Amino acid sequence: MLAKRIIPCLDIKEGKTVKGVNFVNFRDAGDPVELGAQYSRAGADELVYLDITASHEGRKTFTELVKRVAAHINIPFTVGGGIHELADVDRLLSAGADKVSLNSAALRNPALIEEIATHFGSQVCVVAIDANFEQGDWICYLNGGRIPTERRLFEWAAEAESRGAGEILFTSMTHDGVKDGYANEALATLAEQLHIPIIASGGAGKREHFRDAFTLGKADAALAASVFHFGEIAIDDLKRYLRAEGIVVRL
Amino acid sequence: MNVAIIKYNAGNIYSVSYALKRLGVEAIVTADPERLQKADKVIFPGVGEARTTMDYLRKHRLDVLIKELKQPLLGICLGMQLMCRHSEEGDADCLGIFDVDVKRFLPQAHTDKVPHMGWNTITALRSGLFDERQEQQFVYFVHSYYVPVNPFTAATTDYILPFSAALHKDNFYATQFHPEKSGSVGEAILHNFLKL
């Protein structure tokens, strides 16, 4: 059976790991390659590295980091942040990344999804969606949750799939940093509606939340950051717990 | 040991050379016929589309060369599919090393997502690629097309239906999954290949 995936996410600034709490207030959580290797040894199924640096210099630092990750880590990893055009995707895949994650760039230029799918295949193209639940609807946001758009979660996810996205990484801004569980209802709706894997993000606080994302939310993978970075949940413990709960995981 | 990775218009062939480097082997990435023929082991990686890649191989006469290699060769993912007779992807005639055709996954239920992406178990293992440690272990797959179970099947995985996770015939070995991305299990399989 295909296993449900556990994915630690590492936010990178100037080549170092940080973690946002509700997308602001950063705290340092170590060297990205060493942290990734530790997660891999503990049983992480994939890693996500998000570059939150804005500067040109920072981009070069990040590309160098991607090469180091590719050299040292023996599981798949996705990179995101600062992708504006096909050349950025080419640079990151050539540096050794397995997949790229598009967020604001896809909202601003949806045709980029098709370009990536055509050139490199859908399997490399993850479309990340940050959405907040407000006045009865899921509103998509740009720029790391700073700028609201006219887009709604479900219609945008469906469009992304039809344009060639290989996976949807849905972060609920409403749940992110609150540690009270994932947005399971919205996740289940996405799973019903789409035919590509859904990665749940935002809201993990305890082991039960992961179980619920897979059972209630019907997610294919669950992503988290701070509960792993600060050692609140150990990945190997989490996976043994999930297996005991009847969920197929790689141990 | 002299290991050559076949260089062609595929994405991410470097992850294979990184994986070999972690095992202490410095591989060369080349399309040069002489260097490929002289290598102790050859790896035929693959991320890409079947028809485009076959056209490229033919244009550079790599199709004939690959079929005539005598040393152990390992095809990975698309590499394995191209070693078969024909692929539904782009209706492509392939190398024909394995006398079997490559099919597209047809979802039977809403939960059957294509591509088959993620970690799945391998079973019914045979050939020198595997030892008893890998039976029922998880390895990493990303693919939309599959090779049906056939007389060359050297490992089986179940997704929508049982399919070939690995193939073997004479000096030709192949895996549908990515050993270079499959953690310590994948490293053991690559190590077994290097020992052949």
* Alpha carbon distance A227, A234 (integer Å): 8
Is residue A131 within 8 A of residue A141, CB to CB? The reply is: yes
Looking at domain B3-195, its CATH architecture is 3-Layer(aba) Sandwich (3.40)
Active-site position among A51, A130, A176, A220: A130
* Alpha carbon distance B22, B64 (integer Å): 31
pLDDT at site A231: 83
* pLDDT, tens digit, 9 for 90 and up, residues A198-214: 999 999 999 999 999 99
pLDDT at site A54: 66
Which residues are B175's β-sheet partners? B76, B166
Establish whether B180 is a catalytic residue.
Answer: yes
* Closest chain A C-alpha to B182 CA, distance in angstroms: 6
* For residues B83-96, average pLDDT: 96
Q: Do A2 and B14 touch (CB under 8 A)?
A: no
| Parallel, antiparallel or unpaired: strands B73-76 and B86-87 | unpaired
Is residue A97 within 8 A of residue A67, CB to CB? The reply is: no
Exposure b/e, A17-41, CB count within 10 A at least 16 = b: bbbbeebeeeeebeebbebbbebbe
* pLDDT, tens digit, 9 for 90 and up, residues A111-141: 999 999 988 888 899 999 999 999 999 999 9
What confidence category does residue A24 fall into, taking pLDDT thresholds of 50, 70 and 90?
very low
Q: Phi, psi (5° rounding) for residue A248?
A: -75, 115
Nearest CA in chain A to B156: A1
* Alpha carbon distance A167, A160 (integer Å): 9
* Alpha carbon distance B176, B143 (integer Å): 8
* For residues A30-55, average pLDDT: 89
* Closest chain B C-alpha to A2 CA, distance in angstroms: 5
Per the document, the length of chain A is 251
What confidence category does residue B9 fall into, taking pLDDT thresholds of 50, 70 and 90?
confident
Q: Do A96 and B12 touch (CB under 8 A)?
A: yes
* pLDDT at residue A28 tops 70: no
Residue of B11, B114, B118 lying closest to A93 (CB–CB)? B11
Q: Chain-wide mean pLDDT for chain B? A: 95
Establish whether B84 is a catalytic residue.
Answer: no
Establish whether B86 is a catalytic residue.
Answer: no
Residue of A2, A167, A195 lying closest to B116 (CB–CB)? A2
* Closest chain A C-alpha to B16 CA, distance in angstroms: 10
Q: Do B11 and A75 touch (CB under 8 A)?
A: no
Look at domain A5-244 and name its CATH class.
alpha beta
Is residue A156 within 8 A of residue A130, CB to CB? The reply is: no
* Alpha carbon distance B109, A212 (integer Å): 22
* pLDDT at residue A52 tops 90: no
* pLDDT, tens digit, 9 for 90 and up, residues A77-95: 999 998 999 999 999 998 9
Q: What tokens appear for A209 in the block?
A: 């939340």
What confidence category does residue A27 fall into, taking pLDDT thresholds of 50, 70 and 90?
very low
* For residues B57-75, average pLDDT: 96
pLDDT at site A230: 81
pLDDT at site B106: 95
* pLDDT, tens digit, 9 for 90 and up, residues A161-206: 999 999 999 999 999 989 999 999 999 999 999 999 999 999 999 9
